Chains A and B, each alone.
Chain A
Amino acid sequence: MISLQGVTYSYPGTSSPALRDLSLEIPRGQFCAVIGPNGAGKTTLAYILAGFIPHFYHGSLQGEVNVEGKNAATMPQRELLRLVGLILQNPFNQISGTKVTVQDEIAFGLENLGIPREEMVARVAAAMELVGVSELAERSPLGLSGGQMQRVAIASVLVMQPAILVLDEPTSQLDPVGSREVFQAVREMASSGQMTVIMIEHKVEWVAAFADRAIALVDGALLADGEPRHVLAIDTVWRAGVGQTRYTLAARRLQELGKWQDGKRLPVTLDEATLTFKAFQKRR
C-alpha cells in the first residue's frame, strides 16, 4: 500500500515544481501504470517512492508519502530499500560495474543484504528464469544487447523480493516479444498478490492489455486516473501527448472524418474495437 497526499516537489535550483499537488493511493497487489509525455514527472515520482527524494535529491518536498503505512521521508533508506525495488530508466547504469558474469551481477544485491550463499544461488536462478536470461548466466553483463541488459536489470532488482516494484520504462530497449514477456511477468507477480507494481511505460497497448490501472501525469500534475481503457480514451490525455492504441487512433480518424457518433466512447483494446466497429458497420 502506497499513499501520496498533496505531494509537491521542486528539484534544487528550480522554481517550477516537477510534481504538483499529487494525491494517490495504490493498494497492495495492484499493477499500476504511469503514463505521460517526457518531462511529466514520472521518473520524479519513482524517485520519491524509492526515497531518493528527499534522501539523495534535496530540493523542496511538501505533502506526505507513505509506504506500507510508514512515512517514506523519515524512514531510514535501509528500511525503504527492503520495501521498494526500483529499476532505473537506463539499464546500462544499473549494471554494478564490478561483476564478470550475469549471474554474479544479479547476486550483487543479495550479497549486500548478507543473504547466505545457498539461498542466493536459488534466488538468482529463479530470477533469471522469470525474466528469461538463464542462457546468459555466464555472459559478461557489459557485453549484452540493450534488451538483454534491461532484463538483467529487472532480474537484479526482482531477486531482492521487494514488496513494491517500481519500473521506469523497462521495455524501452525491448522488441514487441520481449516487451510482452516483461508485461506478462509483471502481471503475474502482481496477480499472485505478492507485489505491488508501479510501471512507467509508453507502450499503451500493453498497458491497456495488462495493467489494472493507469495514471496519466502531465506537467507534474495528475490528469487522469482509472482503468487503462477509460484513461486512454480521454481526449485531454491524448492531447497532452500520451500515445494511443491503434484502435483508438482508428476511431479518432473516423471522428475527424465526422463519421463517429458524438459522445460515443473510443475503443482502446482489441475486444472493444471489435465490438464498436461491428456495431459501426451494421449501422451504415
Chain B
Amino acid sequence: MKTFDAILKETRFFQDLKPEYIDIIAGCGSNARFDPGDYIFREGEPANTFYLIRHGQVVIELHDPRRGQLPIYTVHEDDILGWSWLFPPYKWHFSARAVSLTRAIALDGACLRGKCDADTDLGYELMKRFAAIVIDRLHATRLQVLDIYG
C-alpha cells in the first residue's frame, strides 16, 4: 500500500515540495470516504481540515433560503478541497457534498496551522500554493458571473 507521503508527492498541489515538508503534512493525514449525498463539511461549521480528492466528484454549494442549495463549483480527483482552515475565522463559507463515491486524504489543518506558525518556510510554501488555487478559482468565478456564453 502506498504511504501518504508517496501519494502527496505525486499530486500537482504538493509537487516539488521539500521531502521534509511532505513528511510533516503526511503526518497530519488520514483516509476519508464519502458516499454520494454525504456532506463533507457545511457552511458555518469550524474549518479544521482540508482534503486532497483522490477519487470522485464533490460539489461546493451555497445555501439560499429561497432557492435551496446552489451548486457553485465542482472539484475532482487531484483537486484540493477547502482553504478556510488557513484563514481566520476558520469557518467554512460554503458546504461541500459528495456527488459520487469519493475517496480523499483528509489533512488536519488545525495541526498544520501550528506547524506553519513554527516553521514560516513551510507556512510560506503552503500559502503560495493555496494562493494559486484561490486566484485560479477567482478567475473562474469572474467568468462564471460574467455569463460568458450569453
- A and B: partners? no
